[in-house]
Amino acid sequence: MKKLILHKTTTCHPDGRTLIYYDSAAEGETPPHRSISRVPRETVPMVERRWHALWGEWILVSASRMARPFLPPKEKCPLCPGVLEIPEEYDLAVFENRFPGLSSAPDRPQPSPHPFYKTAPSHGVCEVVMYTSEHDTSLAEMPVDDIYRLMHVWVDRYKEISSRPEIECVYIFENKGEEVGVTLHHPHSQIYAFPFIPPRLQTELNNARESSKQGKCLFCSIVEAEKQDGRRILAETERFIAYLPYFARWSYEVHIAARHGTATMADFDDATSRELAQVLKLVICKFDNLFETSFPYMMVMHQLAEPDWHFHIEFYPPYRDKGKLKYVAGVESGAGNFVVDSYPEMRATQLQEIPPFQVEPVTIQMNMVERRS
């Protein structure tokens, strides 16, 4: 098995935003030279939190996001090397979002117009994780070895960001496809690190804690029920299981759940990263092969450093059938109840009958080192 070293170099943009290169090199080989700069971080204006009194949750206000680029031509893609965000060719890279909803240096918000309303600075982290410098590809098209490399980057970012005392939740996600509102096609994911637990994860945590009071692990109970039924399972390894849940809200919703004892990426060892790369590759390739197209989805990672928690990934593909989009309309948006257009068992059968049928092997062994000035 080929051994590779992932060399991490932290530098920054002229405006002070963090830029990190992750360069791969075989053992004994010299990685690319990266200049290291340190510039004071500018404050980010027009970002704040406002408390939603009806729903009991925070709303993130980020007026600067109106200036985000919208589907630029390939030659003007800001994520390609040398265009805007990353000056050099890269294997993998991470940078602080230019148009964040949360910031490590937020400007102080204006006081609320009435004492009933609450506002707060949007402290937190917003980062963009670049999978590759290649523009015309996707996670599904990347070799499983490259996804395994990406796992090391996600794990590294989770560990570093979650160690900050103000951070309560590190939320990693990928939006893929114009159907879900993507404005840049270059393959990437994002990280939002919140100073609070977001509402959806808080609901899951509340239910997990309630189940724990009754002596049962909620996530283990779900996995056990899925395994006993068996009709909705797509893949199973020693550490992960992929399935369409009995209670799926989206027609092709897939969950990838870790075994008990793995709550966050801080709990990952090399074997866990290796297995998740394999299962993730299988699921997203099944999506692409289903309708013979680059399948759009929202991929979200739910992880909390809690004793009642299992790390899991949820996929929300917007298609309810070939050529038919599922719109989150009046009942879903206004009442909060999803109306599902098909039984998960039917959609699971479709995906089970679509290749790939087995996980691909990982053929490299990866270690990571940090280069310092």
pLDDT in tens, 181-220: 999 999 999 999 999 999 999 999 999 999 999 999 999 9
The whole-number pLDDT of residue 194 equals: 98
Share of the chain above pLDDT 70, in %: 99
Paired tokens of 361 = 């092997």
| Alpha-carbon gap, residue 265 to 122, rounded angstroms | 24
Q: Which of 320, 8, 11, 265 is nearest to 154 (CA)?
A: 265
Cα 309–chain centre separation:
17
Residue-range domain boundaries for the chain: 2-371
**If residue 96 lies in a helix (H) or strand (E), which one and from where to where?**
strand 92-96
Give the number of other Cβ atoms within 10 Å of residue 213's Cβ. 8
Length of the chain: 373
> What are φ and ψ of residue 156, in 5° steps?
-60, -45
| Alpha-carbon gap, residue 143 to 266, rounded angstroms | 24
Q: pLDDT tens-digit profile of 207-264?
A: 999 999 999 999 999 999 999 999 999 999 999 999 999 999 999 999 999 999 999 9
The whole-number pLDDT of residue 373 equals: 57
The whole-number pLDDT of residue 40 equals: 81
Long-range contacts of 28-32 (CB under 8 A, 24+ apart): 31/5, 31/7, 31/371, 32/88, 32/89
pLDDT in tens, the chain (373 residues): 899 999 999 999 888 899 999 999 998 899 999 988 888 877 776 889 999 999 999 999 998 888 889 999 999 999 999 999 999 999 999 999 999 999 988 888 888 999 999 999 999 999 999 999 999 999 999 999 999 999 999 999 999 999 999 999 999 999 999 999 999 999 999 999 999 999 999 999 999 999 999 999 999 999 999 999 999 999 999 999 999 999 999 999 999 999 999 999 999 999 999 999 999 999 999 999 999 999 999 999 999 999 989 999 999 999 999 999 999 999 999 999 999 999 999 999 999 999 999 999 999 999 999 987 5
| Alpha-carbon gap, residue 235 to 314, rounded angstroms | 14
Residue pointed to by tokens 């900050």: 164
Q: Which CATH number fits domain 2-371: 3.40.50.150, 3.40.50.300, 3.30.428.10, 3.40.50.2300?
A: 3.30.428.10
The whole-number pLDDT of residue 309 equals: 97
Cα 196–chain centre separation:
17
Runs of H (alpha helix) within the chain: 144-162, 199-213, 218-229, 270-290, 344-352
Question: Would residue 114 show up in a list of annotated catalytic residues for this protein?
Answer: no
pTM equals 0.97
Q: Dihedral angle at the C-alpha atoms of 147, 153, 158, 164, nearest 10 degrees?
A: -170
Q: Which of 212, 99, 198, 92 is nearest to 149 (CA)?
A: 92
Task: Note whether 219 and 294 are within 8 A (CB).
Answer: no
Cβ-based burial of 247 (10 A; exposed 0-12, middle 13-18, buried ≥19): exposed
- Selected catalytic residue, list 185, 188, 310, 312: 188
Q: Which of 51, 136, 39 is nearest to 96 (CA)?
A: 39
* 3-state class (DSSP) for residue 150: helix
The whole-number pLDDT of residue 325 equals: 96
